[in-house]
Structure 1
């Protein structure tokens, strides 16, 4: 299991303003030390404020942000990262990701990955990675930068979208799989199979999904605005699913994709 990137993080997608501040504050208070944000979320300031107010030492945190597509050109990339760091009130992030691959050649992958590596070389990011990259794009990225330069590929993974081809490519190339939307906006939490497994273990449906992610070797970043769920999700670490549970969840894969904007790549 990877020790560099904590396997359970707190996601902040769709959280803004005071809601984001409160949620991150609750997460840090509960014991989360891995926080995931992005330029496009519009909440880096709130996340940074919550971290500052928490009293948690910066060295104890793993903080991720992502560079938005509009900032991938050579002249915009590094300034955008510095702007993110200012909002986050930190001199560096632990992980900097390219949020989405471009589906046009206005900026080449060689260019924006070179800028990503430059950010790391400047000390603005301890680790670098990509997000929403397909099998071919992941291969291309590793060809450009070399093996073991990129830490992770972050993409949608949950029981309804297990993304096995991209997962297999990441494993082949030594990239950590970070799965976002682990609950598919709550859809998988109502699944009878998940609910039955939860009842069997005296656990919540969310804990079952998070335990499944962990036992697959994935990092995941669930989001919540409720203290009870934030606390409960952390307790998924003590849940061990058996082989029958894992097989039953594997059978739920149905290609149900939640994140599919019009600028998305041609998915595998």
Structure 2
């Protein structure tokens, strides 16, 4: 298979504000030589605890920030050092679904304009028909086009975000914690929507999350991050069933086990998996 995304020795340093008049602020090494490949059509997960560098990685992959050193090749073109005016090809090929749908949608814009925004930016014609097609694809009714983001639930707002990301027909979909801000009851719906659309449209998915259970459900292959480094990578089931790095083993032991919900609570039955032991709980 062909790698559509190649990351090599990616580093990103930040300098904190100075606390002394005579000394510069300390340097924070957010990424410390991250390298990986993502194959065409693959569902690749990056998992790790808060503060491990996932958000920094997302910003670099999306072209929203520049690395201190290293390369990011998208379909063979290195975006690491390109100025914003030369990233037009990236906006067509890679789109991002943000963590917080309410924060990423302009509250002053109607849904039709939000979804069409990438099309306007890239001067793609026939926008009205494309918006209607996208709303249908994410399970929203046609009348949603004339409403505002605050008139929708969290899960519906994330569907709008997904529709917007798919508007320019990208090759790569970058999902940054796309269900962490949603109620538990709608997370599965949004995850299933993402996986179905990725399969139907033949997309490559890069899925960022702190939730190991979610990554196991969505991704074919996974990379485990710690302190700005990838400590383990491999096929998802192999990494989860036979982790080799002590940190991965520690993360899997910390996964909470979900038991069947109390009868009459009004929620779906949840059956958790003890990932470390490999046993399904009743």
Same fold (TM over 0.5): no
Compare CA radii of gyration and give the structure with the larger one. 2
Write 1 or 2 for the structure with the bigger share of strand. Answer: 2
Greater helix fraction, Structure 1 or Structure 2:
1
